[in-house]
Amino acid sequence: MIQKIKNCPLCGSSNFIFFSNLKKNLYSEIISKIIDLNENYLIKKIKNYKCKNCGIIFKNYWFDDKILEKIYNSFVIHHPRGQDFKSNLFSKRGLSSAFSNLLIAKKKGDIENENRYSRTIKSIIFSIPNYNKLKSTNWISANSRSFDSNLNIGLLKKNINKIKNLINEPVEFKRFSGFESKHLWKYLNQQIKIKSYAEVGCPQWGLFGLVKNKKIKKYFIKRNEKNFWGKKCKINNSKNCILYKKEKTNFKIINYENLPKLNLKLDLVSSFQYIDHLREPFKFFENLNKISESQAYIVDNYKSFDNTIYIQHFTGWSSKPFFWVANKLNKKIKNNFARIKNTENDLFLLT
């Protein structure tokens, strides 16, 4: 069910130290119910540790494959952020609906739904450009995350109408805009002349929508997942998320497990908010390096926010572990894409 992690999942070292405790979120609620453990106990038992050799953050306990499959095949079947990408939830109506449901849950003493709609509302507010500098939204703590449900409902009531009037287009690299950024694509093309391109992870929120009409070879790398983006993940509860995106953007699907046989050499493979789910991340780095000249990784920028890696993520990434990986693979690393800084994300490009 829950396995003790004795060695660093990236470099294999047994030399690590305590980094941080966990905070409650949607996944701690769900997982505690699945494995029938009190949420408070679960949060105290699982901690974040830091490897003193490579610098990666990882959990001292992690879930076995049966639990992971149960979570993502039965309880969180559809990837929430993939579903919300370009959805109608980021709208005046979407905010009003979430606000009404929050007040109903609050009145009923329904803590689970109160937390749920608090997180939804925070995601909407955090997607408003410059929300942290605007009077009607800057009351939310600077180190608060959309992952947690910490929300002052009194201040929300006071400012809700003003907040509705701020909703227009979501800012880049947030929940409702994903990573479909023309500035990101321009930056990557400045570093690499891209004639062939692939992505692995959530098929919805990447760059395929921007490059669908460009004359480059496009691939989606499909893995046998034990987390998000599995066989049951669908868009609008109707079509598999990979096939849905394929119809719209015309990429070729290749299986991760078959990569060694395909003799591919792509210009770039991108992996957005993905490697923190992996049990053996260095094998993943090696496999992508074998089939591509360069790799782009977007990860959670925990250091700029609450310095916590939440329970759904096995690992946390910053400059040090990426430099460790780059050294092992004899790659150069670039971490200078300014537009993504301070957005809860960071970009590391291995060339």
| Model confidence at 44: pLDDT above 70 | yes
| Model confidence at 303: pLDDT above 90 | no
Cβ within 8 Å of residue 19, ≥6 positions away: 47, 48, 49, 50, 57
Scanning the structure block, which residue is given the tokens 């910053």? 318
* CA 284, 321, 53, 51 torsion-angle sign: negative
Beta-strand runs (E) in 33-110: 47-51, 57-59, 61-63
Would you say 71 and 122 are in contact if contact means Cβ atoms under 8 Å apart?
A: no
pLDDT of residue 242: 85
Third-level CATH fold of 182-350: Rossmann fold (3.40.50)
The predicted model gives 273-299 an average pLDDT of 95
pLDDT of residue 74: 75
The DSSP secondary-structure symbol of 291 reads: H
| Model confidence at 80: pLDDT above 90 | no
Sheet holding 47-51, edge to edge: 16-21, 47-51, 57-59, 315-316
pLDDT band at 47 (very low <50, low <70, confident <90, very high): very high
What is the domain partition of the chain in residue ranges? 2-78, 91-164, 182-350
The top-scoring range by mean pLDDT among 73-77, 133-137, 231-235, 292-296 is 292-296
pLDDT of residue 182: 95
Would you say 106 and 134 are in contact if contact means Cβ atoms under 8 Å apart?
A: no
pLDDT of residue 143: 64
| Model confidence at 294: pLDDT above 90 | yes
pLDDT of residue 6: 95
| Model confidence at 161: pLDDT above 90 | yes
pLDDT band at 35 (very low <50, low <70, confident <90, very high): confident
| Model confidence at 118: pLDDT above 80 | yes
Scanning the structure block, which residue is given the tokens 């994300």? 345
pLDDT band at 225 (very low <50, low <70, confident <90, very high): confident
pLDDT band at 287 (very low <50, low <70, confident <90, very high): very high
Scanning the structure block, which residue is given the tokens 């805009």? 177
- Comparing CA positions, the residue from 247, 256, 103, 273 lying closest to residue 178 is 273
- Is this structure's pTM higher than 0.85? yes
pLDDT of residue 142: 62
- Comparing CA positions, the residue from 56, 61, 53 lying closest to residue 3 is 61
Amino acid at 260: P
The top-scoring range by mean pLDDT among 125-134, 236-245, 321-330, 336-345 is 321-330
pLDDT of residue 147: 67
pLDDT digits (tens, 9 = 90+) for 167-219: 999 999 988 999 999 999 999 999 999 999 999 998 889 999 999 888 899 99
Would you say 42 and 28 are in contact if contact means Cβ atoms under 8 Å apart?
A: yes
Beta-strand runs (E) in the chain: 2-4, 16-21, 47-51, 57-59, 61-63, 196-200, 217-222, 234-235, 239-240, 252-255, 266-272, 292-300, 315-316, 333-334, 345-350
* Residue bearing the bigger pLDDT, 24 or 121: 121
The predicted model gives 288-302 an average pLDDT of 94
The predicted model gives 118-138 an average pLDDT of 91
* pLDDT more than 70, % of the chain: 97
- Comparing CA positions, the residue from 288, 340, 348 lying closest to residue 56 is 348
Cβ within 8 Å of residue 299, ≥6 positions away: 273, 275, 276, 316, 317, 345, 346, 348
The predicted model gives 62-80 an average pLDDT of 80
> Beta strand pairing status for 345-350 and 333-334?
antiparallel
d(C-alpha 350, C-alpha 332), whole Å: 6
d(C-alpha 103, C-alpha 97), whole Å: 10
The top-scoring range by mean pLDDT among 106-115, 122-131, 280-289, 308-317 is 280-289
pLDDT of residue 5: 96
d(C-alpha 83, C-alpha 78), whole Å: 7
pLDDT digits (tens, 9 = 90+) for 239-275: 888 888 888 898 999 999 888 888 889 999 999 999 9
What pairs with residue 349 in β-bridges?
A: 296, 334
The mean pLDDT of the chain is 90
> Beta strand pairing status for 217-222 and 252-255?
parallel
* pLDDT more than 90, % of the chain: 61
